[in-house]
Amino acid sequence: MPTIGWFEILIVVAIAIIVLGPKDFPVMLRKVGSWIGTAKKHINNLQSEVSNIDIETDNIEKKEDKKDES
């Protein structure tokens, strides 16, 4: 998988400033940052729900094992 270095990021930023203009570039950065933050929040919620399901499943299996042993 290719990696992105600082030079490539600098080129993308320079092109974005040229295309969007210096006034709209900070606005675009805020929007992209907001989108990334929202995406991270949704991913973290999904991960916590999956781990809660896993914990609940383990607890149910332990209860069933205790019933079987009795």
Residue-wise pLDDT for 52-64, tens only, equals 887 877 777 777 7
Question: Rounded to whole angstroms, how far apart are CA atoms 45 and 32?
Answer: 20
Question: Rounded to whole angstroms, how far apart are CA atoms 37 and 58?
Answer: 32
In a domain, 7, yes or no: no
Are residues 17 and 9 in contact, defined by beta-carbon separation less than 8 angstroms? no
pLDDT of 55 reads 80
pLDDT of 54 reads 78
pLDDT of 10 reads 94
In a domain, 10, yes or no: no
Question: Rounded to whole angstroms, how far apart are CA atoms 4 and 31?
Answer: 22
Residues of the chain scoring pLDDT < 50: none
In a domain, 5, yes or no: no
**Could you identify the residue written with the tokens 């006034």?**
23
pTM of the model: 0.60
Question: Rounded to whole angstroms, how far apart are CA atoms 40 and 46?
Answer: 10
Share of the chain above pLDDT 70, in %: 90
Q: For the chain, how many structural domains are there in total? A: 1
Domain, as residue range, for 63? 22-69
In a domain, 35, yes or no: yes
In a domain, 58, yes or no: yes
In a domain, 40, yes or no: yes
